[in-house]
Amino acid sequence: GAGVSQSPSNKVTEKGKDVELRCDPISGHTALYWYRQSLGQGLEFLIYFQGNSAPDKSGLPSDRFSAERTGGSVSTLTIQRTQQEDSAVYLCASSLERDRGLHTFGSGTRLTVV
């Protein structure tokens, strides 16, 4: 597609449930990033995929968080046993490796854990 697509746009879930957030990057973009923005906070890096290389998971806040990128395209961020502090906007971005920038962001998924 023309831009980075994220789904769902909004998700309300009960504490303790698992959630999956999806990101469709721009076709041909080899780099894919997940960030989150909690209320009143700056953007926080979560995980980075680059081609077939092992992902950089250094930003994942706990082992309840995991992410996959299938076929070098679509990515899924999974949060297990959600907690209220997981409530945030989760943003996905993609870029061409050679540009090392020109990140295009999706509109995000607003996750609310009640």
Partner 1 sequence: KQEVTQIPAALSVPEGENLVLNCSFTDSAIYNLQWFRQDPGKGLTSLLLIQSSQREQTSGRLNASLDKSSGRSTLYIAASQPGDSATYLCAPLINKFYFGSGTKLNVKP
Q: Which is nearer to partner 1, 74 or 105 (CB)?
A: 105
The SS3 assignment for 99 reads: helix
Tell the smallest beta-carbon distance from residue 95 to partner 1 (Å).
9
Residue with tokens 């290389």: 53
Q: In the complex with partner 1, which residue's Cβ is closer, 56 or 80?
A: 56
> Smallest gap, in angstroms, from Cβ of residue 27 to partner 1?
18
Mode of pairing for the β-strands spanning 19-24 and 88-95: unpaired
**Could you list the residues that contact partner 1 (CB under 8 A)?**
4, 6, 33, 35, 41-45, 48, 56, 59, 91, 93, 100-108, 110
Least separation in angstroms between CB 91 and partner 1: 6
Q: Which is nearer to partner 1, 18 or 97 (CB)?
A: 97
Cα–Cα distance, 49 to 57 (Å, whole number)? 9
Q: Which residues contact 87 (CB under 8 A, 6 or more apart)?
A: 38, 39, 111, 112, 113
